[in-house]
Structures are given as structure tokens and as C-alpha cells.
Amino acid sequence: MFQLRVLERHCTDAEQARRIAESRNVVIEALHDLESLLLTLYPPALEEQGLGPALEVYVQEFSRTAQIHIETDLEILPERLCSTVEIGLFRVAQDALEAICQHPMISWVQLLLRLRVGAIALIIQDDGPGFTLDELSGWNFVRMRRRAESLGADCSFSTSPEGSRIEIVVPLEFKASDSDKDLDR
């Protein structure tokens, strides 16, 4: 950026100066996009405050961008989950919201985080027309299933004309292992 700015200031040819300025603007946009992507992949709230606050921040931004009403009801956890579980559940929530918001007929989504005896549950439900078999075999659902399996979680999808429900239940005794490193992808 600095070198482009120096070139732009010292350029005597107006056409070249315009092209340099355009190049600088492209770089600025790319840097903003990269920053946004990094915040989506590794939100500071997830590392600093845990799953609940990170989901709140993500859902708020996603709701604004997707222009869909998303309610959150996130139970306050007595302690932090292991980072593998937090990242895995965060990624499932991202995948679920992306899949759900593909339907233009959805006007309401609810994301719940519940502490159960020996487990933590992430539930995402909507008022849409339900998912087709093709959608349930699509990439977002495959990723959700794989993430859930890598956490030792139960993963269920239910769908009807009145809406859909995605539920991931992770046992709290889950221990991170070397094979779980692919959750970040």
C-alpha cells in the first residue's frame, strides 16, 4: 500500500496515476475482505469469552447481513468448554445459518444453547418450508455431520412444512485429540 501511494504521488502521467489509484483501492478492499474473513473464522470473542458470547456477536452480524430475524437463547455455561468443542459448535452454527438462510421463505430463526446432564446442545430451528433430500445431502449438512462426528456428538436434522430443526448434542466428557484439528477447516 505504501509503495502504491508513493508511486501515485510521484507519477506524472495522469492515466498511470489513475491506474495506480485503482490498484490501491483494490488492495484496500481485499484487505477489508480478508479482515472480515479472519474475524468470521476466528472471532476474538470465541477465544477471549467463549462460545456463548461468540455466537451472540456472530448471530447479530449474520442477522444484519442476511436481513433475517434470528433469536438467540444461550444458556450461560458454568465453565468454558474445551476449545475443540467451542470451535466445532461455532462452525456448526455458521454452517446451519448459511444453510437455513438459503430459503427466501424463512422469516424467523432461533438458535439455542442448552446445558444438559453430561452434554451441551446446540439447536437451530426455523419457520421455513423444510429441507429437501438434496439439501440434506448438500455440503453444509455434510460438514455439520462431520463436525458433530469428530466431537462424538449426536447430530439430527428434522424437517417439515412448518420448519426445520438442527440439533447437535456433544457429551461434556469429550477430550480433544490430534485427529480433531480439521474442525477449523
Q: Give 43-83 as a 3 state SS string.
A: CHHHHHCCHHHHHHHHHHHHHHHHCCEEEEEECCCCCCCCH
Answer yes or no: do 30 and 85 share one domain: no
pLDDT digits (tens, 9 = 90+) for 128-174: 888 877 777 777 788 889 989 999 999 998 888 888 999 999 998 75
Q: Do 35 and 110 belong together in one domain?
A: no
Same domain, 61 and 143: yes
Query: Given the C-alpha cell 433430500, which residue does it identify?
Result: 133
Gyration radius (Cα) of the chain, Å: 21
Sheet-wide strand order for 154-160: 69-74, 108-116, 119-126, 163-171, 154-160
Q: Is position 45 within any domain?
A: no
* Residue-range definition of the domain harbouring residue 35: 2-39
Same domain, 21 and 57: no
Question: Domain for residue 58, yes or no?
Answer: yes
Contact 17, 8 (CB under 8 A): yes
Q: What H or E segment, with its residue span, contains residue 87?
A: helix 83-100
To the nearest whole number, what is the mean pLDDT of the chain? 82
Of the candidates 119, 37, 123, the one whose C-alpha atom is nearest the C-alpha of residue 73 is: 123
Three-class HEC string of 92-129: HHHHHHHHHCCCCCCCEEEEEEEEECCEEEEEEEECCC
Band of residue 37 on the pLDDT scale cut at 50, 70, 90? low
> What are the residues facing 159 on neighbouring strands?
164
Min mean pLDDT across 33-47, 103-117, 169-183 is at 169-183
The structure's pTM equals: 0.71
Q: What is the mean pLDDT of residues 97-102?
A: 84
What per-residue confidence (pLDDT) applies to 103? 77
Task: Please name the residues in contact with 122: beta carbons below 8 A apart, sequence gap of 6 or more.
Answer: 89, 92, 93, 111, 112, 113, 167, 168, 170
CATH for 176 = 3.30.565.10
Q: How much is the pLDDT for 174?
A: 57
User: Is residue 34 located within the same domain as residue 118?
Assistant: no
- Give mean pLDDT, residues 46-66: 88
Q: In this structure, are 72 and 146 located in the same domain?
A: yes
* Cα separation, 69 vs 63, whole angstroms: 6
Q: What is the pLDDT of residue 172?
A: 85
Bigger pLDDT: 57 vs 49? 57
